[in-house]
Every structure is written in C-alpha cells, then in structure tokens.
Chains A and B, each alone.
Chain A
Amino acid sequence: MIDFLSRFFRREETSKTLAKERLRLILMSDRVSLAPDIFDAMKGEMLAVLRRYLEIDERGMDVHFENAERQFALLATIPVREVRTHDAIALARRPVPQAAAPNEIAMEVGDPAADTAQTVEQIRPAPRRRRRRRPRASTAAPPQTELPPETSADGHEGPPPPTA
C-alpha cells in the first residue's frame, strides 16, 4: 500500500528531486564504505550501550549497512542470551561521576561465572563513568582501567558515553 502511494507521488517528482534523493543514498553508502575504522568504532560503542541491558552472543552477531530501494539502513542481528535483571539495568543506567581514563573499556564476559573483566575493543578516548561497586563475589580481574574492575553475573561497568 505504502509502496503504491509512494509510486504515485513519485510521478509528481521532478528529475532533480529524484536526483537529489538518489545522491543522498549513494553518498551515504560511499562514505560508509570508505571508513571501516569509523564503522568499527561505531559498532563498538553501540554494543557497549546494548550490553547495559542485554547479554549478547557476539559470535553470532552481524551488523552492516544495507542499500535498499529508497532507503539506506543499518541492519543489526544481535543474538540475545539474556536480558539483565531490573536491578542490574538500573545500576548500569545510573549516571555516575566522570573520570578520565585510557581509551579502553572493560566489559563482562558472557559466562556468569567469570571473574575477569575483558577488554573488548578500543574506542576513541572518552571520559569514563565510574560504576558504583556492587557488593558481590570476588573480583580478580587485571585492572585494565584505572578503576578496580567490578564484575559479576549481572552487572558490568558502565560504558563511556557515546562520543559526539
């Protein structure tokens, strides 16, 4: 139905309007394909946000841009192992005082029994949030950041805010 309508309206389009619209999509696609490192950075930050809420299976993950008719979309297939508990999510989302930090983030590994934090990827330098310590099992992670790693089954360190 929408397709029919859009085709109808298209007849009213001047070739210039059509050209502009096509160019918009073409340039998006071109620019994205030319900056793989920026794409990786974007992907990393996206995942950092998602991990506040979800436990995801990164091996089954697929994130890519798709150039469809009249639409340029970012498609992400992200298998979810677990949705975090309300408490964990609330904790993760609580605003925390910022602290300067090296450009690494420590993330929890999928396995609930894990004691170690694991650096997933490097992101451009950004102020890191200090997470409130959650009174839980012992942690013995190598301090890859200035903060003592605080990992547990359901909680994880707050990710840095997305850079502008």
Chain B
Amino acid sequence: MPDVENERLEIPHAAAGPAESQSPEAAPPSPKPAVKLGRSIVMTSGKGGVGKTTTTANIGTALADAGRSVVVVDADVGLRNLDVVLGLENRVSKHLLDVIEGKCSLDEALVRDRVRRNLHLLPAAQNREKDDVPEEKMAELIAQLRERYDFVLIDCPAGIEQGFRNAVIGAQEAVVVTTPEVSAVRDADRIVGLLPQAIVIKLVVNRVRPAMVRKGTMMSVADVNAILRLDLIGVVPDEREIIIATNRGTPVIDIEGSETGAAFRRIARRLLGEEIPIPAFEDKGNFFSRIMTTLGVGRS
C-alpha cells in the first residue's frame, strides 16, 4: 500500500557499511547496505495529557508536507488516540499487535492519511494490553519501519510502565513534551532520567499561555528549561483551535491562522535541520523558587 518514492532525508552517518545509523545501539544490519535508515523519534512526557499525541500527529503531518515519508506509530495499546487525532479512526482495521504476532502484513495494518499520501499511521490495538507487546518485537518492527520511511514517529503512552518501555525501545531520538506546570515538569525530569543514555533528547514546551506568564501565574519557558536543561526545539502556545481540530479530526496545522499550527510547522523544520529562532511568546522569565528547590537542579 505505501508507495513511497519520495526523496530520503540526508542523514549524516558514520561510515558506509551494513548498519547505518546515528547512535551506537544501531538497528540490526540492513540487508542492503545502500539503504539509508530513517530517523526514529519517540514523543514522550511521563505526564499524561500534555500533548504527545497532538505533537506526534502534527509534526508528522508537517514533515510529510515537507516532502518526507513519515509513519506515525501509536504505541498506546488499549488507549489508542492517534487515529482519532488524525481523523483516521474509521480506516483502522488491523493494528501493530497483529503485525507483531504475524496475523497480517505491515502493509495491511498501515493506514494512509486522507490528504497526505506520504503520511501513514500504524494504529495501536484497542482491545489488548501493553504487556502483550514484547520489547524485542517492538524494536524489530521499528527497525523495519526505518528501512521504509524517512521518519518514524512513535507516540508514547503516559507513564513509566511497559507501554513507555516499548515505545522507547526502537527510538534513536526523543522529543520530551511538557507543559509549564509543576507536575508536568517534574514528570518530564523523571522520564529523562529513564531514557537510555545514547538517545538524543529534545524538548517541546506545549500549552504556553503568554498572558499568564506575563502575569506571573505560569512558569516561563526559561523557567522550565532551567530545570530540565534540554535542547529546546519548540514552544507551542495554547489555543482553542486545538480542541476544534480534535473535534473535527484534522491536524491543527491545517487550521488557518492557528499559532499552534504554525509552531508545529516550525518544530518540523527544526527537526529537518533548519535554524529557526523560537519566537518570544513571553516577556520575561519568572522564577518559582519553591519549584526550583523541590525539583533540584536538573538531573545528575
């Protein structure tokens, strides 16, 4: 089904050879040494509801618009929502677990986006449990996907249990999504501590309300990153458009005039290597000393 002829992203790799990848814990050697492997990125957070799924869907769509071949993988077994956010819920028949268990081929499970030919979805199973997915099989599947797509975006479930471990296993990169709230930042900090050493981590701060930051009732992005100390690749403002977009099942980047959508597009471009400055949504940083002392100064 996916007939992807798009140009592959130029990924800098160490040397030509059987295995080409960015990180030491490489995928199993590709049978065709000339094939460049795509990038696998997990969107994670620890805290639920900060916008991982929305981020996955929108960045995936934006990357597809930029001409890349993209597969978005819903790793939230039992509580799938990536299909709903993309409006593809009634095209789902087979899912990730069916593929892993050999009940169907990858092509049968992949769902093509309605608008973008080069964007595909690999849905999660709704009626199974996360423990049903063996980690090694998940890693193999992601490796397989990397051979076919420029980008493999993995939507991680909330939490730190098996679901999280499965989502992370195949990923070379991680985008940690947080909101400027104490619980979310604390959980993000925890999640960073649980990610493998070799994984490349970037930060997205979602649901920023500039007015509240100005008033001093919300942490600024500077406050957040003073604690997490990660490579920031995006700041996304909070907007009612997100709710409308999810109601309709269209990505928010398709809503005219949406600042949130524009922010996601910029994040996609930064992932592609473009250097775009992050717009100053708020005026100044406000420090919440209580949070600082509670959470310590980042991770060791």
Contacts and interface: CB of A to CB of B under 8 A. Distances in A.
Interface of A: 15-16, 18-19, 22, 25-26, 29-30, 33-34, 67-70
A15 B248 contact: yes
17 contacts: A16-B247, A18-B248, A18-B249, A19-B247, A22-B249, A25-B89, A25-B90, A26-B84, A26-B89, A33-B126, A34-B127, A67-B89, A67-B90, A67-B91, A67-B92, A67-B93, A68-B90
B244 interface: yes
Nearest to B246: A19
Contacts of A33: 126-127
A15 B126 CA distance: 25
Q: Is the contact region of chain A dominated by helix, strand, or loop, or is it mixed?
A: helix
A68 B93 CA distance: 10
Contacts of B84: 22, 26
A15 B91 CA distance: 20
Nearest to B78: A34
B293 to A, nearest CB: 43
B92 to A, nearest CB: 7
A70 B90 CA distance: 8
A11 B248 CA distance: 12
Interface string B226-263: 00000000000000000110111100000000000000
B200 to A, nearest CB: 35
B126 A22 contact: no
Interface residues of B, number: 15
B20 to A, nearest CB: 39
Given A26-B84, A67-B90, 18 more contacts: A15-B243, A15-B244, A15-B247, A15-B248, A18-B247, A19-B246, A19-B247, A22-B87, A22-B89, A25-B89, A26-B89, A29-B90, A30-B126, A34-B126, A67-B89, A67-B91, A69-B90, A70-B90
A34 B162 CA distance: 21
Contacts of A68: 90
Contacts of A30: 126-127
Contacts of A22: 84, 87, 89, 247, 249
A47 B84 CA distance: 34
B235 to A, nearest CB: 25
Greatest chain A CB density within 10 A among B87, B91, B126 is at: B126
Interface string B87-117: 1011111000000000000000000000000
B5 to A, nearest CB: 28
A10 to B, nearest CB: 10
A25 B89 CA distance: 9
Contacts of B93: 67
Contacts of B249: 18, 22
B130 to A, nearest CB: 15
A26 B85 CA distance: 12
A121 B90 CA distance: 31
Contacts of B246: 19
Contacts of A70: 90
A29 B246 CA distance: 18
A15 to B, nearest CB: 4
Nearest to A71: B90
